[in-house]
Amino acid sequence: MSPTTAETASTTNAGTAGETGGTAVRKVTARTVVDSRGNPTVEVDIVLADGSRGRTAVPSGASTGAREAVELRDGDPRRWHGRGVDRAVAHVNGEIAATVRGRDAADQEGLDAALTALDGTPGKARLGANALLGVSLAAAKAAAAARRQPLYRYLGGAGARLLPLPMMNIVNGGAHADNPLDYQEFMIAPVGAATFAEAVRMGSEVFHTLRRDLLAAGHSTGVGDEGGFAPALRTAEEALDFVTAAVERAGYRPGADIGLVMDPASSEFFRDGMYHYAGEGVRRTPSEHADHLARLIDAYPVVSVEDPMAENDLDGWRELTARVGDRCQLTGDDVFCTNEALLREGIRTGVANSVLVKVNQVGTLTEALAAVTTAHRAGWTAVVSHRSGETEDTTIADLAVATGCGQIKTGSLSRSDRTAKYNQLIRIEEELGEAARYAGRSALRGAHGA
């Protein structure tokens, strides 16, 4: 997990191909497509002077941080229930296209800076982060195609060879499912696998074992937004017990072969200074909530917890980090929103020890790469992540390898919008051959990991 790859990722190959004019942007086209929830989203195509092409479909979140870059929606209730993206598409096809045409797509930092300046607002509210990100990522893909390189190699350079530890969401709750479970995600991480392909096999075996166990116990095996099961469980202990049993029944050792990961998404149930556990019918103070999480971390082989505390409960974050940060990875999502300035403040003040990286939270590839670099320089870990509203676009799979971050969160072992990323990583591992390395347990922060 050396920072070297991430530090050079945004400038690798920049300008070299553009000297001939072949990587100048010739055409920019945006359209409305649908995401994994059937909602509209922005897709962008970029064609370069040499004919190289890049295409990106932008994801969308359901559980979102208050400080995320703005996803521009039309708000017209007569179309798409107000969730249309016609304005964002028009911005891409209009003034954004006019700005980037003729620019060198191989100069990622320059192009992204031009996009940010064109918008002119702190949260990309005028043109929309969904409009800007589609152009940013499509340009990177087109430049990679012009260099006849896979995206992970183009962005990460020759040293990009680390396959990430996957965090596989197999039980959904919270905003991702219609069940009483307060915590949003319960995941498995195949820390003991030898290769990424083996990690996928292990995860699939546990996923199908869990399905049988849930059916035997009389639970529904319908899946939530990210492909995990959404049974009518009420407590974190119930979910962790089911997952641990499935790991064992699949023939693996909890903790040694497969670690557990939780995402409470605590901002979703934090109100008026209290954590409201609707499923349990109780309220907990920040200290009581931290106590509860610490007990779960001690009682189960939990190797990582995402958003254990709410984005506005910074005192709670610091308390939990001081208490368990030496033995468990604590990953900030809502509290940082892939924003480098927020991340620097968290590093300075002892909030978390890891950052979740979602490119659409911040709006450009350059800014997302800067967050990874900042985390690595501080000795923190970074986890490249999908969103609950995904597409078949596999950019984040390449991004995880390009940055050498060693961890990816991209959903369950069902729904092709999730498995597409796993399949892309399997292909990358095969392409790398003997040079490929699987991060496994070493990618994690804390005593359970590195």
Instruction: Supply the residues annotated as catalytic.
Output: 226, 358
What is the Cα 16 distance to its own chain's centre?
30
Is 387 known to sit in a ligand binding site? Answer: yes
Is 421 known to sit in a ligand binding site? Answer: no
């109100």: which residue's tokens? 271
Cβ atoms 429, 201 nearer than 8 A: no
Is 306 known to sit in a ligand binding site? Answer: yes
What does the block give as tokens for 89?
């598409």
């659409």: which residue's tokens? 360
Is 45 known to sit in a ligand binding site? Answer: no
Is 185 known to sit in a ligand binding site? Answer: yes
Report how far residue 85's alpha carbon sits from residue 127's, in angstroms, rounded to the nearest whole number.
Answer: 11
The helix or strand, by DSSP H or E, that contains position 310, with its residue range, turns out to be none
Is 358 known to sit in a ligand binding site? Answer: yes
Helix axis angle for 395-403 and 365-377, nearest 10°, is 30
Phi/psi for 8 (5° steps) reads -95, -5
**Which residues, at least 6 apart from 361, have a Cβ–Cβ distance to it below 8 Å?**
61, 65, 68, 69, 129, 337, 338, 339
Gap between the terminal Cα atoms of the chain: 11
Beta pairing, strands 185-189 & 270-271: unpaired
Residue of 254, 198, 204, 187 lying closest to 439 (CA atoms): 198
Q: List beta partners, residue 283.
A: 276
Is 141 known to sit in a ligand binding site? Answer: no
The helix or strand, by DSSP H or E, that contains position 103, with its residue range, turns out to be none
Is 354 known to sit in a ligand binding site? Answer: no
Cβ atoms 348, 376 nearer than 8 A: no
Cβ atoms 62, 389 nearer than 8 A: yes
Continuous H helices in 335-415:
340-349, 359-362, 365-377, 395-403
Cβ atoms 52, 21 nearer than 8 A: no
Phi/psi for 150 (5° steps) reads -65, 155
Is 238 known to sit in a ligand binding site? Answer: no
Is 388 known to sit in a ligand binding site? Answer: yes
Q: Please, what sign has the CA dihedral across residues 35, 394, 404, 148? A: negative
Report how far residue 186's alpha carbon sits from residue 184's, in angstroms, rounded to the nearest whole number.
Answer: 7
Is 176 known to sit in a ligand binding site? Answer: yes
Q: What share of the chain is helix, strand, coil (3-state, %, to 5)?
A: 45, 20, 40
What value does the CA radius of gyration of the chain take, rounded to a whole number of Å?
21
Residue of 143, 181, 178, 168 lying closest to 47 (CA atoms): 143
What residue numbers does the annotated binding site cover? Answer: 176, 184-185, 263, 306, 333, 358, 385-388, 409
What residue numbers does the annotated binding site for (2R)-2-phosphoglycerate cover? Answer: 184, 358, 387-388, 409
What residue numbers does the annotated binding site for substrate cover? Answer: 176, 185, 306, 333, 385-388, 409
What residue numbers does the annotated binding site for Mg(2+) cover? Answer: 263, 306, 333
